[in-house]
Amino acid sequence: MSAPSDPSALPADDAPEGSAPDPAAPLTATGNLRRRAAVSRVLQGAATAAALLAVALFSLVVYEVAKEGLSVISFGFLTTDPNLVNLGTGGIAPAIVGSIIIVAIATAIAMPLGVLVAIFLTEYAGRRSGRVVRMALDLMNGLPTVVVALMIYGLIVLGTHEESGYAASLALAIIMLPLIARSSHQVLLLVPGTLREAADALGVSRWQAVVGVILPSALGGIVTATILAAARAAGESAPLVILDSLIIGNTVHLNPLHGMATMPLTIFNDLALGVPAAIKQAWGTAFVLMALILAANVGARIFLARNRSRLGL
């Protein structure tokens, strides 16, 4: 819909196109109706332009990361250690492994807790306790990530005097927990009541109904929620900057009790170094990280859509 330059120059149309069916429309458009239709069209155009702007921004960022990143990526970049002498050069293997381990630990903590909280909310919570827990989840979801990171800093890093991968995992778990709990809660609410009643009618206990009937039928949604939360955590950087360090993270190692290199931290440090070689490494890392995250998002969406249609929702 393009904006007409001069509303009065519009031909008199008695059925403004694009609007809902309008049986009561007058047969001839008065000047007032023409003005209203023009206003409507201009503002619809503005809304369309806003959506285009968002899509354009997304495409711009993805294009830039892909263009710069692909010129850096090679098999060696993905599989070798960074150069210890020339900071900001070399491969990013430790960062890829570190990101995977840290996010895996966070998921292993947050997923069971999140699902249990969701079950608590749907199956067991009274009115009062449900409200308290829901409110706590909302607050947790609204916590700035720096605050979560500093809390773990006070809890762990100040005590052990070492920045470490598992401290970062704990912070990421706190960030993931409300996301998983909320989405799982919504999925569990969607489980048809008839399934519950059928289980009750068969005389099974509540926990058997939950484990045997309700959870399996909600599994797709829970898995989707977990993937999305893990993707979010993988891109989270404030906890890594505060809790993790690259000092021991320059070679691939699997011990989260020490600092581990991660992809967001690599990008952040490269940008701080600021030299051209480091910026190149940052783009390469950004490409790998973003490809993983977007793939997880697209995959989760497709999985959810397929799951939905199977359940007939």
Partner 1 sequence: MLIGLCGFAALVVVVVIAEVIYQVISGASPSISRFGLPFVWHSAWKPNLFIFGAGEMLAATLITSFMALALATPLGIAIGLFLSMLAPSWVRTLVGPLVEMLAAIPSVILGLWGVIVLAPFVQKHFEPFLHGAFGFLPIFGAQQTTGLSVFTAGLVLTIMVVPIIASLSRDLFLAVPRDLQDGAAALGATRWEVIRGVILPTTTSGVIAAALLGLGRALGEAVAVAEVIGGGSTLHGSVFAPGTTAASRIIDEIESLDNRLHLASLFYLALILLVLGVLTNLIAQAIARRLGGEQTMLVR
Binding to partner 1 (CB under 8 A) within 93-152 occurs at 112-114, 116-117, 119-121, 123-125, 129, 132-133, 135-148, 150-151
Our CB check for partner 1 shows the closer of 64 and 197 to be 64
Q: Nearest Cα to 100, choosing from 181, 172, 150, 157? A: 172
Q: How far is the CB of 63 from partner 1 (least distance, A)?
A: 10
Site string for partner 1, 176-205 (x = CB under 8 A): -xx--xx-----------------------
Residues binding partner 1: number (CB under 8 A)? 100
Under rule CB under 8 A, residue 16 binds partner 1 = yes
Q: How far is the CB of 154 from partner 1 (least distance, A)?
A: 4
Site string for partner 1, 236-265 (x = CB under 8 A): xxx--xx--x------------------x-
Our CB check for partner 1 shows the closer of 68 and 254 to be 68
- Rounded to whole angstroms, how far apart are CA atoms 133 and 116? 12
Q: Nearest Cα to 119, choosing from 67, 191, 199, 50? A: 191
Helix (H) or strand (E) holding 34: helix 31-70
Letter string b/e over residues 283-302, b meaning 16 or more CB atoms within 10 A of that residue's CB: bbbbbbbbebbeebeeebee
Residue 249 burial (C-beta neighbours within 10 Å; 0-12, 13-18, 19+) = buried
3-state SS class at 65: helix
Q: Given candidates 10, 279, 291, 311, which one binds partner 1 under the rule CB under 8 A?
A: 279
Our CB check for partner 1 shows the closer of 51 and 201 to be 51
Q: Cβ of 43: how many Cβ atoms within 10 Å?
A: 12
Q: How far is the CB of 6 from partner 1 (least distance, A)?
A: 18
Q: Given candidates 188, 213, 234, 261, which one binds partner 1 under the rule CB under 8 A?
A: 234
Q: Quick one: tokens of 198?
A: 């059928």
Under rule CB under 8 A, residue 13 binds partner 1 = no
Residue pointed to by tokens 């989840």: 137
Are 4 and 10 in contact, with CB atoms under 8 Å apart?
A: yes
Our CB check for partner 1 shows the closer of 97 and 289 to be 289
* Torsion over CA: 58, 64, 66, 72 (sign): negative
Point out which span in 6-14, 48-56, 77-85, 194-202 binds partner 1 (CB under 8 A).
Answer: 48-56
* Residues of span 282-311 touching partner 1 by CB under 8 A: 282-283, 286, 289-290, 293-294, 297-298, 301
Our CB check for partner 1 shows the closer of 101 and 209 to be 209
Q: Cα 158 from chain centroid?
A: 30
Residue 220 makes CB contacts below 8 A (sequence gap 6+) with 187, 303, 304, 307, 308, 310, 311
When computed from its CA atoms, the radius of gyration of the chain, rounded to whole angstroms, is: 26
Under rule CB under 8 A, residue 66 binds partner 1 = no
Q: How far is the CB of 104 from partner 1 (least distance, A)?
A: 17
DSSP 3-state helix, strand, coil percentages of the chain (rounded to 5)? Answer: 75, 0, 25
Q: Given candidates 78, 100, 232, 258, which one binds partner 1 under the rule CB under 8 A?
A: 232
Our CB check for partner 1 shows the closer of 256 and 264 to be 264
Q: Given candidates 3, 12, 15, 53, which one binds partner 1 under the rule CB under 8 A?
A: 53
Point out which span in 100-108, 216-224, 228-236, 251-259 binds partner 1 (CB under 8 A).
Answer: 228-236
- Rounded to whole angstroms, how far apart are CA atoms 261 and 305? 35
Our CB check for partner 1 shows the closer of 116 and 254 to be 116
